[in-house]
Structure 1
Amino acid sequence: MSEDNDFIGNTEEEAPLLTDEAVSRSRGASFVSSVFNLMNAIMGSGILGLAYAMANTGIVGFCLLLVLVSALAAYSVHLLLKLCDQTGLTSYEGLGERALHKPGKVLVGCAVLIQNIGAMSSYLFILKSELPAAITSFQTADGTKTPWFEDGRLLLILITICVILPLAILPRVGFLGYTSGLAFVFMLYFTAVVVVKKYVIPCPLPNNITVSSVSCQVSNSSTADCTAQLFVLSRKSAYAIPTMAFSFLCHTAVLPIYCELDRPTKARMQRVTNISISLSFTLYLVSALFGYLTFYAQVDTELLHGYDRYLPRDVVVITVRLAILLSVVLTVPLIHFPARKAAILLLFGSRPFSWWIHSLTTVCILGVVLSLAVFVPDIRNVFGVVGSTTSSCLLFVFPGLFYLKISTQRFRSLDYIGAAFLVVFGVVVGALSLTLIILTWVQSS
């Protein structure tokens, strides 16, 4: 088998990857189901902040950065799949162990656990704060409010038990293809609404109210505020790359999806990755562009807040907010899957599937995540610091580093140079993210 597999995935398919999972099943997840699952792992509530990133980088600057980050994300997946093809390993933790021995396995497993528990906690925290308002907004102004609708903690517990737990306890990630497809429809709906509302909200903004990322203040909004900027360079521009990088983080889910793919080959999984990242790229770009062209420099850090302010009881905006929240609910089980796999590998090692261990680990992880979301007043700062380091490692540093350690290619080969660039880029992005978060803390205090 040739080591020089095509990154785009247009060459002939290699021999199928033989794993215990592949042997034990008669048919794996379909190609379309795998695309939906990987897209669901990529896309989340981060789509709400990309219009703000465009406002702080300009249209051309944003497009260039988005192309760069998405290409590097696809390339890092290419390196992971190439290592799996060369070594026969099918887990991120296994590659870490091959590259750095036992410390590598523990390092990757802990990074996956921390990153995914942080992401799930953040999603549930969003549900706790946003879902009560989204539900009560469907009520008439003079209607009788139902008290339990306004209790975000109670809603969160009910949704976790009734929706997230049954989906998370499924033994295979392929079963989530249908819910991931539904989440994609919700994201598509959100993007369509952003495009349509561009032609509904006039510019200058009504009532001479401009939106600040810190507060809402009255000021003069003129036609000068309705001019799109091609390039913007400011202190806030530095937030754009970390925001985009985290928006394409799907690497903890890639290998589990690869293992369950029907007729799993590197070329076939690379096509799944390329299609998923391309579709996500398109939705990101369209929603960010039209969101920015709606509010221009006055775009909010979370795009939907602007629509709430200028169209407070618009039925379409209310439904799209609910759609985003439902998409977040359906993303949590998919993020949970690699976290559970990492926990089982760290605690129990490689052993045959056990429903007892599987169920106990699922309940424990969801219990920790739910407790953080319900009882901790503000977890975003804590996981912001952790996420800035673990996300950069999982997205850029680990794939490049593992390739440098494991691959037998020549020192000056294209992939070797690309892997070295990924490591450097990941370290820079992680350090930049961490610095920005610390600076934000200092300024807030």
Structure 2
Amino acid sequence: MQAPWGIVDAERSWYVSAEEPEEAEAEELSPLLSNELYRQESPGVSFGFSVFNLMNAIMGSGILGLAYVMAHTGILGFSFLLLIVALLASYSVHLLLSMCIQTAVTSYEDLGLFAFGLPGKVMVAGTILIQNIGAMSSYLLIIKTELPATISEFLSGDHTGSWYLDGQTLLIIICVGIVFPLALLPKIGFLGYTSSLSFFFMVFFALVIVIKKWSIPCPLPLIYAEQYFQISNATDDCKPKLFHFSKESVYAIPTMAFSFLCHTSILPIYCELQSPSKKRMQNATHTAIALSFLIYFISALFGYLTFYDKVASELLQGYSIYLPRDVVILTVKLCILFAVLLTVPLIHFPARKALMMMFFSNFPFSWICHSLITLALNIIIVLLALYVPDIRNIFGVVGSSTSACLIFVFPGLFYLKLSREDFLSWKKLGAFVLLIFGILVGNFSLALIIFNWINK
């Protein structure tokens, strides 16, 4: 999950239809979207750019963890689970759009307010806050692990013990000198444009994974890399598994849920869409999720077929070991680090907005409050990045809790609350299944992850 790009502060109106729209009416414009003032202020975004914005919101650090998931679920097992999560994510968007048309709200938080009052709004805002903190921490963890390795590839000789090769020191310097000042900006501005680059960097990363599959031999050469892998040169290690389940498989669905989360961006992007309608937005969502699925699957498959069961939980680590001075890999690393560096302050904006909405919604803007909240968020994510040992832990915990809520639980719960359809209707039954799936899978995965920690 990346930052929720495309967010707009559209004028809100509190409209409730007298009865549930019929299927033919579902493609009518919502009262908010057909508002003449809104149309004058926003000419609308084309279908293609809406798909791009959605893919931009979907794709993020999760792409680095999916090869590890495939190694612990098998190719077919991974394909099945990834397809299920993608389909459910698409269906939950369908429910969100239905509720948007019914209520005319333009943000996820306002759906919570409409469904359950102020507690619902605070619940959604809190969930988005934790989700964004997890996303920012995962990005900082990438900086901590990859930046020292990247710097060392530009150096000759032995620089062991140097401060500029210490990930924790570099992380603190970057957060103090770059992330915090950028996050203090009152408007997103140019960060919104630079975030688009990160999407292209992720696509470039996937292409390089495919190309470099044939640059690393299998069996893997025995080199000094025990800090990441248990190295073996057995030929059996080069046989891909179609199905494989272990205690690490518990990270599969949470990591996938983390990777497909774009639901906080759906309603704002819908408001920006040219000639907005439910069908048009649903088609844009289907296209974005399908293309993201394809890129995720390709990068996971070829990452797995490169390292097999020795793949690291953060895929780039393996290339740092086996292709340490490869120009293409070095270019990919620099691109990913640049994207991460500029995405972290961008995610500060919705995280700070959610925190302000929870505790300071009735207070006027204050630079002191703005700065203190930004500083507090920065300290939290830095501490997480410093002391969380593995990026899969962030994917697992955040994916099984907040991601599961935003993708599965809340859309199902809110639709059951707001829709006036009969409970035995197909859409309400689907919402109920989505709700139960999110609760069961999220809690079960989180419990097993905690159980694994205790055993270790």
TM range (shorter): 0.7 to 0.9
C-alpha contact 2:73 2:252 (8 A) present in aligned 1: yes
Which residue identity is paired with 2:188? Answer: L
Q: Distance in 2 between matches of 1:370 and 1:5?
A: 48
* Helix, strand or coil at the partner of 1:216: coil
Match of 2:194 in 1: 179
Provide closer, same or farther for how the CA distance between residues 217 and 237 of structure 1 changes in structure 2, counting only shifts above 3 A: closer
Q: What TM-score, normalized by structure 1, do the two folds share?
A: 0.85
Match of 2:129 among 104, 113, 121: 113
Cα distance change on mapping 1:368 and 1:36 into 2, 3 Å: farther
Separation in 2, partners of 1:396, 1:390: 10
Q: Is the 8 A contact 2:213 2:302 kept in 1?
A: yes
Q: Which residue of 1 aligns with 2:232?
A: 219
1:289 is aligned to 301
- Whole-Å separation in 1 of the counterparts to 2:371 and 2:134: 16
Kept in 2: contact 1:52–1:300 (CA 8 A) = yes
Residue in 2 that maps onto 1:193: 208
Q: 1:295 to 1:6 in 2, by over 3 A?
A: farther
TM-score of the aligned structures, taking structure 2 as reference length = 0.83
Partner of 1:84: 100
Within the candidate set 155, 179, 190, 1:160 is matched to: 179
> In the alignment, residue 263 of structure 2 is paired with which amino acid?
H
- Superposed displacement of residue 163, structure 1: 4.8
- How far residue 195 of structure 1 moved from its aligned partner, in angstroms, is 0.4
What is residue 300 of structure 1 aligned with on the other side? 312
Question: Residues 16, 364 of structure 1: CA spacing in aligned structure 2 closer, same or farther, 3 A cutoff?
Answer: same
- Tell whether the 8 Å contact from 1:128 to 1:156 is kept in structure 2 after alignment: no
Sort the Cα spacing of 1:244 and 1:218 in 2 relative to 1 into closer, same or farther, 3 A.
closer
Q: Per the alignment, do residues 145 and 159 of structure 1 end up closer, same or farther by CA in structure 2, a change over 3 Å counting?
A: farther
What displacement does 1:396 show?
0.6
- What secondary structure sits across from 2:33 in the alignment? coil
CA contact (8 A) 2:221 2:233 kept: no
Q: After alignment, is 298-307 or 157-166 more displaced?
A: 157-166
Q: Which has the larger displacement, 263-272 or 316-325?
A: 263-272
User: Which digits, 9 at most, give the CA deviation of each residue in 1:175-234, with x for residues without a partner?
Assistant: 765323311110111011100111111222223x6988x753343422x22122212233
Report the CA distance shift for 1:396/1:170 in structure 2 as closer, same or farther (over 3 A). same
Q: Write the distance in 2 (CA, Å) between the matches of 1:383 and 1:368.
A: 22
Structure 1 range deviating more: 104-113 or 177-186: 177-186
Report the CA distance shift for 1:146/1:431 in structure 2 as closer, same or farther (over 3 A): closer
Cα distance change, pair 29–169 in 1 and its aligned pair in 2 (3 A): farther
Secondary structure of the residue aligned to 1:198 is helix
Q: Using the alignment, how far apart are the partners of 1:307 and 1:104 within structure 2?
A: 45
1:328 aligned partner: 340
CA distance, structure 1, for counterparts of residue 225 and residue 444 of structure 2? 26
Whole-Å separation in 1 of the counterparts to 2:311 and 2:388: 25
Separation in 1 of the partners of 2:225 and 2:73? 18
The percentage of counterpart residues that share the same residue type is 53
How many Å separate the matches in 1 of 2:118 and 2:133?
22
Cα offsets for 1:94-115 (capped at 9, x unmatched):
2112222222112111111122
Q: d(CA) in 2 for partners of 1:309 and 1:280?
A: 28
CA RMSD of aligned residues (A): 3.4
List alignment gaps of at least 5 residues for structure 2: 1-19
Query: Counterpart in 2 of 1:169?
Result: 187
**Counterpart residue identity of residue 205, structure 1:** L
1:148–1:311 distance in 2 versus 1, CA, 3 Å: closer
CA distance, structure 2, for counterparts of residue 332 and residue 262 of structure 1: 29
Out of 221, 224, 240, the position equivalent to 1:228 is 240
Question: Where do residues 31-430 of structure 1 align in structure 2 (5 Å cutoff)?
Answer: 31-141=47-157, 151-152=169-170, 153-161=172-180, 163=182, 165-166=184-185, 169-170=187-188, 178-207=193-222, 215-222=228-235, 224-347=236-359, 349=361, 356=365, 363-375=371-383, 377-379=386-388, 385=397, 388-430=400-442
